[in-house]
């Protein structure tokens, strides 16, 4: 028997979870295993019930599970809340506290659904891209951050920051993934203008060349990558990138398939349960 924590979240989330439970019920009967599924709160639902977007009891339940299934969070109702009382803050807390540093987002075009894509058939047919996104660093978590008043006007700021060790561990995940797929890894950065991206490029190059000699490594600036994903997506096999670039590019890649809701997403760490969800994240 496996312990599964269910996080229905907000908006369409409970409806998604209801359908998932039906599918999992069928799988249990067909494959001969048992799942003990227990709900927990996250996002706007948790704010309404507990005044906390990811209560400690939810975190503890997730940590003690074999796996976590998340639907989605968010909604206009909470958009004007202070930052600490927004649904997205609960999502970031879950990732950080559970050590979910690696996000795997595959975009594979299925022949039966090829017409769901907004791109031409000859562009998307056969596309099979894995986006490996670093999930617990970068500008989403960097400090200092905030909104201050300087010289009589408001100034907003965030810190785009990575430690060498954070880049090393996501590079190893990406190298392992690429070696089990087509053997090609494209690292996406903005090293021509960002110092943090130069460090990213240097560390990824060092890890892949030393530890994954069977993987063909290339580098691409993020603006070019965004264009190339639409222009000729079949050139990509595995992509590795930082948190904010990965957030944007993986959402873009979903439209190769046709919809964010049609893609799976796995957030994993070095140990403990992973979190599995539809790619869209927002309700």
Angle, vertex CA 42, rays to CA 40 and CA 47, nearest 5 = 115
Among 279, 282, 271, residue whose Cα is nearest residue 129: 279
Q: What is the pLDDT of residue 282?
A: 63
Q: Judge whether 251 counts as a catalytic residue.
A: yes
Q: What is the pLDDT of residue 255?
A: 86
Q: What is the pLDDT of residue 279?
A: 73
State the Cα–Cα distance between residues 262 and 254, nearest whole angstrom. 8
State the Cα–Cα distance between residues 166 and 138, nearest whole angstrom. 10
Q: What is the pLDDT of residue 153?
A: 98
Residues paired with 146 in a beta bridge: 157
Q: What share of the chain is helix, strand, coil (3-state, %, to 5)?
A: 45, 25, 30
Region class of 7: left (phi > 0), else alpha (psi between -120 and 50), else beta = beta
Q: Of residues 93, 138, 190, 237, which has the active-site annotation?
A: 190
Q: How far is CA 270 from CA 2, 177, 226, in A?
A: 20, 15, 29
Q: Report the predicted TM-score, pTM, of the whole model to 2 decimal places.
A: 0.91
State the Cα–Cα distance between residues 204 and 198, nearest whole angstrom. 10
Structure tokens at 166: 């954070």
* Residues of the chain below pLDDT 70: 280-283
Q: Judge whether 247 counts as a catalytic residue.
A: yes
Residues paired with 102 in a beta bridge: 134, 268
Q: Of residues 52, 93, 140, 237, which has the active-site annotation?
A: 140
Please name the residues in contact with 204: beta carbons below 8 A apart, sequence gap of 6 or more: 167, 171, 174, 187, 217, 219, 240
Q: What is the pLDDT of residue 281?
A: 61
Q: Judge whether 128 counts as a catalytic residue.
A: no
What sign does the CA torsion over 135, 136, 142, 147 have? positive
Give 38-102 as a DSSP string.
EE---THHHHHHHSSSS-HHHHHHHHTSSEEEEEEB--GGGTTS-GGGSHHHHHHHHHHHTT--E
State the Cα–Cα distance between residues 7 and 75, nearest whole angstrom. 16
């Amino acid at each position: 028997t496996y312990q599964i924590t269910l996080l229905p979240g907000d908006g369409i989330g409970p409806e998604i979870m209801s359908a998932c439970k039906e599918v999992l019920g069928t799988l249990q009967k067909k494959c001969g295993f048992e799942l003990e599924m227990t709900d927990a709160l996250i996002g706007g639902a948790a704010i309404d019930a507990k005044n906390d977007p990811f209560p400690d009891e939810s975190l503890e339940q997730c940590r003690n599970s074999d796996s976590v299934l998340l639907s989605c969070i968010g909604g206009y109702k909470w958009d004007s809340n202070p930052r600490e009382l927004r649904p997205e803050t609960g999502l970031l807390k879950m990732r950080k506290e559970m050590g979910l540093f690696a996000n795997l987002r595959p975009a594979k075009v299925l022949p039966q659904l090829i017409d769901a894509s907004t791109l031409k058939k000859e562009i998307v047919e056969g596309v099979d891209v894995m986006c490996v996104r670093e999930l617990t660093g970068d500008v989403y978590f960097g400090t200092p951050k905030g909104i201050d008043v300087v010289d009589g006007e408001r100034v907003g700021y965030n810190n785009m920051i990575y430690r060498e060790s954070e880049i090393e561990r996501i590079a190893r995940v990406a190298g392992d993934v690429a070696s089990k797929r087509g053997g090609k890894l494209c690292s996406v950065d903005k090293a021509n203008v960002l110092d943090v991206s130069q460090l990213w490029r240097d560390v990824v190059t060092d890890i892949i060349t030393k530890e994954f000699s069977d993987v063909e490594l290339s580098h691409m600036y993020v603006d070019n990558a965004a264009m190339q994903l639409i222009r000729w997506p079949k050139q990509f096999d595995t992509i590795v990138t930082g948190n904010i670039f990965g957030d944007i590019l993986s959402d873009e890649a979903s439209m190769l398939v046709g919809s964010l809701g049609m893609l799976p997403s796995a957030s994993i760490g070095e140990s403990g349960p992973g979190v599995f969800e539809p790619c869209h994240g927002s309700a």
